[in-house]
Chains A and B, each alone.
Chain A
């Protein structure tokens, strides 16, 4: 079982983050929802262009809120956000909406309209680049069925191209949602549990595809993950989130079992309770793959 080395090389090359004009960052960000509970508090993070980062943490830790704040879908209550080098909340809202077309938020359960055909669901990732007229034309006759097919093929669901979305299984829906990302032109990719409905082998290959795509585009990739094993195996930098605060932000090698145990507290995952194997931690995390 190998641990792919290429994300590490991406991160290393993007180390001088502060001078990067395409930097995305959160600075002292606080997000509180109606009712006053802070979903994020005092969160400060930097994401260099091309960097690939996994965000882990127990359910309700604020992973989704963090991704949506970084994706200009939530305006922080306090603190500053920079997205691809720009301050979204200081922009006129048309410019902000143009900025949104440069990023891609993939929600955990891809919201695909049940009656929509897969080809249109995938090409929906391309509509921000289209005129409304072309978007309409594409509904009558797909403008770029080839691109949709190609994107689906990456996730081995190309045979579903002309099926309706309500004929798909949960895992197929998730992969169609990811294919939508592939046809987009986004440079900041924010994925919320992108492989939660896939079996371990598929999850690994899907994540690999996404990482290669991000690498090829020079896009920043931030992924919220439940599967700690997968995060450790495939990401050079891990951010631990707990109760809306950053518990740690470390390179993979420095993420110890003790840190993880603390991160998950009482909800300690089975993964860390098992007796330690004689091999190093790296081998253990591949157990799930």
Chain B
């Protein structure tokens, strides 16, 4: 493939231009992996999501273009006036567009961080997701790690306002492959909320291959929200890797509303005793959107708790995939792990493949999983209609009710209201509030 040759050339160029970079070795190792693993074709983890055709197209890789906030108004999240805003354009962190509004956090380019007092954190944690994503896609991102940031949340500090991360693709002149890459470290006793969203300028095709790794230290709390509401000509593989290295709490909500092909990898590594993690997801699809949520909860140490709930409403010709793995390692006794996936199909052409996958190697654990695929509850519909509510409104009320137990876990209020509005509009909700 010509495109692969282009990627190879780009890689050689990157390494030559940054010969003294502290990230040289990490990139080299990852690129070797990429060459060995290749683009997933007949890969068990990619059974329902075919991304190899995307690599037949030509993309521009890692090219910054000038973008102004004026052009980004549509994707700007409410409450931004108080929030810290970090902007990536085509995978490259943009200092001019970003604003840090908290003294409790530190943002520095990964290239700098690897030379700073934080270098041990970087070398220990950057690329840990590769242990879970054993495919060329993850390696490809790491091979080009350069223009991402290290976000450090200081010890004992509560970041009062959320951190918004915007991943902007500018495909106004040609197809774009962008690879945002960042590392977040939430120190002891610190608290932070991160909200991530995606937006595209331009009509050419784009492929975003993103990796975000979040490390959570003792008694820290991290909340992470992902909102995917991009255009239909955008595709993405978005990997979020959360590793709790000491007793701590995490909470993630993934909302997928629009896009072409969306593949989310969410890893929760409970790498210390008494960790607690919550994972919620909602995918609301129509058109030909394909949303694939692959989640992994790895119970490495004993006495951890995790709860997972993913819900999907799939209409028209859209397809959904849910694959939920729970690993309980031999030493991880007293694990509590729960998983549930519920789907409503609204059309005959809509489909979903759901697969819970529990691999339990310890004997004293409580684990449960369940999945459902069904239609809208007809009896519920009749109940609402019999009270005078027209069927169209009754349908949207019922679907909204279905979505709400994921929605209500979005804690930053402006974001919850924003997502609720997007969903209500999608469901053509015509309430009287």
A and B: bona fide binding partners: no
